[in-house]
Amino acid sequence: MNAVNKRKEELREEVLTRRSKLSEEEWQAKSEKIIQHFFSDDLYDMAKVVHCYVSMNERNEVCTDALITKMLEAGKRVVVPVTNFSNVLLHHIEIDSLDDLKSNKWGIREPDAEEEEEVPVEELDVVIIPMAAADRKGNRLGYGKGFYDRFLAKTNARKIGFVFKEFLFDEIPVEEYDVKLDVIITEDGPLIP
């Protein structure tokens, strides 16, 4: 493990430990503020096809359940990721409801990719990305597997990261393959690096 990877892993562990200590009320309130800021952003209004992560609520990720439901009700096409751990790639499947999702063996809620046709990344207008932390320069700290960096390198969609403000730093360790975000949204509002 190189020095940057070691620093990333240490920061990731610290952030995830702190995030796990948020109360359910605090987690919900912070998530709702972030979602409201996204709804008031022009990117939301202009987007027809939105790729959105399905939050792992037991890990206190910014909750996207209400966001996904509201986007579907508004007539947006909502695409969610399906993880393929054998080749470390994401597949992109359109859903009609949160009821389309089932927990996989890692506890990640996903649609059945074998029954659905994959949406080409060229069709995506906006990608909402999960993360542990971010910095004011648009860098994100993911969960260390590289799923999103591989995917984001292939799309021209606007890249939006949701993160709680206590995990937005002035600078985080990065590597050359890390893909920058176009917008970061915290409870305080959007930040354009």
Binding site members for substrate? 54, 61
CA distance 123 to 87: 23
Annotated binding residues, written as ranges, equal 8-12, 54, 61, 140-148
CA distance 127 to 159: 5
Instruction: Name the amino acid, one letter, at 96.
Output: D
Helix (H) or strand (E) holding 161: strand 158-162
Annotated binding residues for ATP, written as ranges, equal 8-12, 140-148
Cα angle 81, 21, 101; round to 5: 25
CA distance 164 to 188: 9
